[in-house]
Structure 1
C-alpha cells in the first residue's frame, strides 16, 4: 500500500480538547465558534470530540482539524465495542489522539494504531508523560508528540521552560520532523503565549476552556495569544 503524505501542519497549532465535558448542542456551539475564529488565523486548530459527535462537528465546520480522542487498531469485522479507523475517516475525522494518561495504550497496540492512522490519512497526536517516554515514542514517528507530565493535567500549573526545552531537544534529536506539543496546565491566554514563546510547536486546553464563564471567548483569547507570540518571535 502506497504511503499517504499528509500536508504539513501549520504551526504553532492549537488543540481545543473538550474531552467528555461537552457533547451534543453545547459542543457544536463551541465548535462553530472555534471554526469562525480559526478562519481568521494562519495556523491550524484541532478540535476533539466524543465519538458520537465527530460526524456532526465535521459536517458543520470547515476550518478545524476534527480529531478523535482515541482509536483502536481493529479492522472492520468482529470486535464488539471497538473504534474502527475507517469508520472515523468516513465520518470526517482527520486526526487522532493516542495514549493520553486517561486512555493509555500498551506499546504493541500503540505501534499498530499509529500505522492504522497513516493508512487512513490521519494525523497522530501521541502523548508522553516523561522525557524518557517521549524519546521512545519519537521512534514511532507520530506527527505530534504531546509532552504532558501526568501530575500537571488539569492543575493549572504549566510545564516550566526547562522541561519544554528538555523534551524539545530529546524529541528533535531523534526526529526533527515531529512537532512538539506542550499543554499541561494551560488555563489562560497568558499560559498559551508563554508556552509558544518557550519553544513549543503547539499547545491546547480542556478545563480552561470548558470551565470558563464564556468558553467561546476563552478560545478566542487563546488563539489570539498564539498570534501575539508568533508576531513577537518574528
Structure 2
C-alpha cells in the first residue's frame, strides 16, 4: 500500500471530517505539496465534495462507504458512486462512525467490488488485530480520547502504536498500520514511523490550520 518516498516512507491522509474548512484549498495545497516533495498525501472530504476535491489532482479518499450494493438504500454511500466521484480509497469504522463487525466486513466487500483501497480504524491493538483479520489494505490505530487534542499517541502512549503494529503483523503481515489521533507536526509523523507505522491519519492539524499548505509542508518536511 505505502510506496517509497524520500527518506522515511510514510503516507499522510488528511480527513476533513465535517469541519468548516475550504476542501478545495486544502486539496490544492495537498496536491502541490505531494508533487513538490514526492510524499504520498491524500485528502478525505465530505462525500458531496469528492468530485471537486478529486479535480484538484490530489489523491482522494471517501470518509466512508456503506455495506450495500446498488438498490434501495437511501442515505447510503455506494462504493461505486464514490469511485465515480474520483475516490481511490475509503476509511472505514472511524471512531466517529463506528460500525458493527459484520458491517465492516460488508463495507470491505463493497470497497473491493469497486476497487477502492481501504483503511479500517480501531481504538486499540486488540481491535487492530480483529480489523486486520478482515483483510483491509491497512488499519489505523486511534485512541478516541486523543483525537483532536494535539497530543499524538506516539508521545502519550507509544506502546499502543508498537503493540498495534505487532497485532496486525501477527494476523497478516501485508496489512499496513497507520497512526492517528493528535498528529499535527512533522515530528509526530517521524515518531509514528519510528514506532513502526507506515503512515498517519490526521484531521484538525490541517483542516483547522490558518494556513493548510504551511501545516502540510511542516508535516512532510522530515520525509523529503
TM-score by length of 2: 0.91
Query: What is the aligned partner in structure 2 of residue 31 from structure 1?
Result: 27
Q: Residue 164 and residue 174 in structure 1: after superposition, are their counterparts in 2 closer, same or farther (change >3 A)?
A: same
Deviations 1:114-142 (A, max 9, x none): 01101111001100101111111111011
Q: 1:9 aligned to 2, 12, 15, which one?
A: 2
1:148 matches 2:142: yes
CA–CA distance in 1 between the matches of 2:87 and 2:209? 26
Query: What is the aligned partner in structure 1 of residue 54 from structure 2?
Result: 58
- Deviation of 1:204 (Å): 2.7
1:204 matches 2:188: no
Query: What is the aligned partner in structure 1 of residue 188 from structure 2?
Result: 191
- Deviation of 1:155 (Å): 1.3
CA contact (8 A) 2:30 2:42 kept: no
- Deviation of 1:224 (Å): 1.3
Q: Which region of structure 1 is more displaced relative to structure 2, 147-156 or 39-48?
A: 39-48
Q: 2:63 aligned to 52, 63, 69, which one?
A: 69
Unaligned runs of 5+ in 1: 1-7, 228-234
CA contact (8 A) 1:95 1:124 kept: yes
1:67 alignment partner, SS class = strand
CA contact (8 A) 2:129 2:171 kept: yes
CA contact (8 A) 2:2 2:198 kept: no
Query: What is the aligned partner in structure 2 of residue 41 from structure 1?
Result: 37
Q: 2:160 aligned to 142, 158, 163, which one?
A: 163
CA–CA distance in 1 between the matches of 2:70 and 2:80? 8
Q: Which region of structure 1 is more displaced relative to structure 2, 173-182 or 14-23?
A: 14-23
Structure-to-structure mapping, 1:118-129, within 5 angstroms: 118-129=112-123
CA–CA distance in 1 between the matches of 2:65 and 2:27? 21
Query: What is the aligned partner in structure 2 of residue 89 from structure 1?
Result: 83
CA contact (8 A) 2:60 2:87 kept: yes
TM-score by length of 1: 0.87
Unaligned runs of 5+ in 2: 4-8
Structure with more relative contact order (C-alpha pairs < 8 Å, separation 6 or more) = 2
CA–CA distance in 2 between the matches of 1:79 and 1:107? 19
